[in-house]
Structure 1
Amino acid sequence: MLYYLSQFLLLAAEGTAAEETLSFLRLFKYLTFRGIAAAATALLLSLWLGPWFIGWLKRLKISQHYLDKAEESGIERMKPGDKRGVPTMGGLLMVLVISITTLLWAQWNTLVQLTLLAAIILAGLGFMDDYAKITRQTSDGVTARTKLLVQFLMAFFIAAYLWYLPATRHLVSEVWVPFYKHPLLTGAAGAVVGVLIVVLAIVGTSNAVNLTDGLDGLAIGCTTIVAFVFLVMTYAAGRVDFSQYLQITYVPGAGELTVLVAALIGAGLGFLWFNCYPAQVFMGDTGSLALGGILGIVAVLIQQPFVLLIAGGVFVLEAVSVMLQTSYFKYTRRRYGEGRRIFLMAPLHHHFQKKGWLETQVVTRFYILCVLFAVLALGTLKIR
């Protein structure tokens, strides 16, 4: 909105006495300026609206008054005790701030619109899950089957839409992998594999971030770190010179995703202010599903889903730990009549809690791991 307003004013003032006065509006043409402005706007909005939003959730009694699965399994927090009474659905604030900030500072192209659409749909799905948990006061919300159905339908729609538009068809039909400077697959074979990758990237990342959201500040901190990687990747993919030099796909309009990712970083840092230990608010599935979905679709739109696999290594470890635990438990129960476990508890962060690590230790060490994965992901830009 501000970009279009600035360009309208510049055009209107051209050749008049006001042209020099309004010359500063040329800054709005620069992606770097709008990206920095978006991050600052989202951060300030989050810090400003956060206390009011938390108070509003408390007045509506949108709080967790039940033990979560970890606490039911005997994991205790440090003072002030369990997580009951802490407001949830804080993800509503994050999605709202990201959407408003993006609409203010970005150019509204197809890539931005698809990403925001995915975020809103997934936030709505998460809202239904959180609402079900609150009304029932149990840790069981919407069934896993229902959530996966909605996620797969949405992801398939995005894949089909990208394929339908000639300008974005290559985002599906060409399969790119890190460390290699040419598409691995193209044509019909690439399209089939590409659709599968699009769907798995969006659904997988959405659920992986959701699984990571089990400790104060863990999911939002790791999401913000991964977002920094895609701040660089989207900027490079949106510029012809950078993409040619780094030998990655040039995607027209991808630069505007930089503004969206910058808004995510600002909103994430603002939310972390209230979500760090001891948390004043939880993002809930409303936030975790939406944020994971944003990362997944941004990676797809710049043809870097496998880089997301590297950058989001912590999310991958969390998701794999759950899959291994569940599969091994079912297998051993069927074979030996008694289910056995690989980890003391899954997802992985709870395993380390069971081993005696404090919640803050787990979160800080996972941050360190996430930074290492992020550096490795950025390293793929120079190794082609």
Structure 2
Amino acid sequence: MLYYLFDYLDKVLDVPGTGVFQYITFRSALAFILSLLLSTIYGKRIINFLRKQQVGETVRELGLAGQNEKAGTPTMGGLIIIFATLIPVFLFARLHNIYIVLLIVTMLWMGIIGFIDDYIKIFKKDKEGLKGRFKVIGQVGLGLIVGTVLYFSPVVTVRTDTGNSDIFRVTTTNVMPPTPVEIKSTATTIPFFKNNEFDYAELLAWTGEGYHNWAWLVFIPIVIFIITAVSNGANLTDGIDGLAAGTSAISVLALGIFTFLSGNIIFSNYLNIMYIPNSGEMTVFISAFVGALIGFLWYNSYPASVFMGDTGSLTIGGVIAVLAIAVRKEMLIPLLCGIFLVENLSVIMQVSYFKYTKKRTGEGKRIFLMSPLHHHYQKKGYHESKIVTRFWIVAIMLAILSIVTLKLR
């Protein structure tokens, strides 16, 4: 909202200095600072409110050291992340930007699903929370909305020929070089390869002429799958103090770099990457989101004063998925969100192997001492803070490697 005020002051009243709000970098910095302040200053008040409402975590008997001490710790702390993200976004972002609208919808949509799940666990005393099928229905619903908007909206376009464009090259002739065309496309980026754009529509090439018109039949299900998988991965990672918030902040920060570069025609031309008009505005949202996650860590680091609950974990996963899809970097998710991936895989492997061995031998066997993977290391005797710190280090390495893909092809 402040963006529109300062835009009016600059363009209509010509007030000196107000034009600085046109710069994404300036507004991103303000969004980060404000979200960090909101999450640290007002986070304590939200925690006290949750404690008064007896919104305490019910701890399952897992046989883990220090687990029982966490009983009664306030949960639903994801409200801090949502609150501290959305206020700066409403103040500093261009709210008519389609990507900002999608991210706001994603945060509220997944936040509501997570809130309902936490509410059932806490106030209805049902440890299972919201039934899995209803969670999936909610995730699929969001995927349908995001996929449909990204595919059919006329303002969601890309330009894949920036690196080969003559528009930025010096010419001695008086002939103006042709302007590259922004097109509707379901193209995405394949990491580690030259000429690394892949169009999902090509999967339907076997159907014959006009196959591009049916690309939504492939694109929308892929969006649904990614949102469901990443949000569930973030949910599983939220098991010990500071793990989900810290690793998520690292991944989101890396996505912020991709977003800023892809939304800037100069940088995208220099790096020979896909230019995505209007996507740079997401940097403001990302800055606010990172600030909120770091501020939340102030209270969530060991020993945690608050847990994010599904209100936070499902929201984080959904936002990361939509960011990656919007900036056409969803194929980097297995690398960038490698922590989420291994946490997911550890559960799948554990459950599958247990069922398989029980069917074959009558006695179920396990691959890990416990799943998700972070609990395996707890069972081995590692302290929570050591596990979290090492997972953060791995997340930083994966984020750096993901960023290196900009030039490593």
Q: Say if 1:172 and 1:144 are closer, same or farther in 2 by CA, change over 3 A.
A: farther
**Bigger CA drift: 51-60 or 160-169?**
160-169
Residue-pair matches, total: 371
| Aligned pairs (5 A) from 1:258-297 | 258-297=283-322
Residue 138 of structure 1: how far off its partner (Å): 4.9
User: Partner of 1:184 in structure 2?
Assistant: 198
SS of the residue aligned with 2:70?
coil
| Aligned pairs (5 A) from 1:39-54 | 39-54=32-47
Q: Say if 1:172 and 1:298 are closer, same or farther in 2 by CA, change over 3 A.
A: farther
Q: Counterpart amino acid of 1:74?
A: G
Which has a greater percent of helix?
A: 1
State whether residues 311 and 370 of structure 1, in contact with CA within 8 Å, keep that contact through their aligned partners in structure 2: yes
Q: Distance in 1 between matches of 2:62 and 2:77?
A: 25
State whether residues 325 and 343 of structure 1, in contact with CA within 8 Å, keep that contact through their aligned partners in structure 2: yes
User: Partner of 2:2 in structure 1?
Assistant: 2
Q: Say if 1:141 and 1:186 are closer, same or farther in 2 by CA, change over 3 A.
A: closer
1:73 to 54, 58, 62: 62
Write out per-residue CA displacement over residues 225-255 of structure 1, whole angstroms, 9 at most, x where no aligned residue: 1111011011011011111222222111111
Q: Distance in 2 between matches of 1:209 and 1:242?
A: 31
SS of the residue aligned with 1:13?
coil
State whether residues 237 and 372 of structure 2, in contact with CA within 8 Å, keep that contact through their aligned partners in structure 1: yes
**Considering only CA atoms, is the larger Rg found in Structure 1 or Structure 2?**
2
Q: Counterpart amino acid of 1:2?
A: L
| Aligned pairs (5 A) from 1:322-333 | 322-333=347-358
Establish whether residue 205 from structure 1 lines up as the match of residue 247 from structure 2.
no
Residue 31 of structure 1: how far off its partner (Å): 0.9
Write out per-residue CA displacement over residues 165-221 of structure 1, whole angstroms, 9 at most, x where no aligned residue: 233276762232112334223536373443333222211111111100000111001
State whether residues 345 and 354 of structure 1, in contact with CA within 8 Å, keep that contact through their aligned partners in structure 2: yes
Establish whether residue 82 from structure 1 lines up as the match of residue 69 from structure 2.
yes
Establish whether residue 251 from structure 1 lines up as the match of residue 276 from structure 2.
yes
User: Partner of 1:112 in structure 2?
Assistant: 100
Q: Counterpart amino acid of 1:251?
A: I
SS of the residue aligned with 1:88?
coil
Q: Distance in 1 between matches of 2:136 and 2:352?
A: 18
Q: Distance in 1 between matches of 2:126 and 2:13?
A: 60
State whether residues 157 and 277 of structure 2, in contact with CA within 8 Å, keep that contact through their aligned partners in structure 1: no
Q: Counterpart amino acid of 1:46?
A: S
Establish whether residue 59 from structure 1 lines up as the match of residue 52 from structure 2.
yes
State whether residues 172 and 195 of structure 1, in contact with CA within 8 Å, keep that contact through their aligned partners in structure 2: no
Root-mean-square deviation (Å): 1.6
Q: Distance in 2 between matches of 1:312 and 1:130?
A: 24
Write out per-residue CA displacement over residues 30-52 of structure 1, whole angstroms, 9 at most, x where no aligned residue: 11111111100100011111111
Q: Distance in 2 between matches of 1:351 and 1:172?
A: 43
Establish whether residue 168 from structure 1 lines up as the match of residue 156 from structure 2.
yes
User: Partner of 2:253 in structure 1?
Assistant: 228
Q: Distance in 1 between matches of 2:277 and 2:130?
A: 38
Q: Counterpart amino acid of 1:210?
A: N
State whether residues 159 and 172 of structure 1, in contact with CA within 8 Å, keep that contact through their aligned partners in structure 2: no
**Bigger CA drift: 329-338 or 132-141?**
132-141
- Gap regions ≥5 residues in structure 1: 15-21
State whether residues 175 and 193 of structure 1, in contact with CA within 8 Å, keep that contact through their aligned partners in structure 2: no
Write out per-residue CA displacement over residues 285-343 of structure 1, whole angstroms, 9 at most, x where no aligned residue: 00000011111001000100122221111111111111111111111122222211111
- The percentage of counterpart residues that share the same residue type is 39
State whether residues 67 and 138 of structure 1, in contact with CA within 8 Å, keep that contact through their aligned partners in structure 2: no
State whether residues 172 and 198 of structure 1, in contact with CA within 8 Å, keep that contact through their aligned partners in structure 2: no
Q: Distance in 2 between matches of 1:376 and 1:146?
A: 36
Q: Distance in 1 between matches of 2:8 and 2:312?
A: 35
Establish whether residue 299 from structure 1 lines up as the match of residue 324 from structure 2.
yes
| Aligned pairs (5 A) from 1:116-127 | 116-127=104-115
Q: Counterpart amino acid of 1:42?
A: S
Question: What is the TM-score with the length of structure 2 in the denominator?
Answer: 0.87
1:29 to 22, 25, 30: 22
Q: Distance in 2 between matches of 1:182 and 1:207?
A: 28
State whether residues 339 and 395 of structure 2, in contact with CA within 8 Å, keep that contact through their aligned partners in structure 1: yes
Residue 29 of structure 1: how far off its partner (Å): 1.0
State whether residues 188 and 329 of structure 2, in contact with CA within 8 Å, keep that contact through their aligned partners in structure 1: no
Q: Distance in 1 between matches of 2:49 and 2:243?
A: 24
SS of the residue aligned with 1:137?
coil
Moved over 6 A (4+): 169-172
Q: Distance in 2 between matches of 1:305 and 1:160?
A: 16
Question: What is the TM-score with the length of structure 1 in the denominator?
Answer: 0.93
State whether residues 156 and 199 of structure 1, in contact with CA within 8 Å, keep that contact through their aligned partners in structure 2: yes
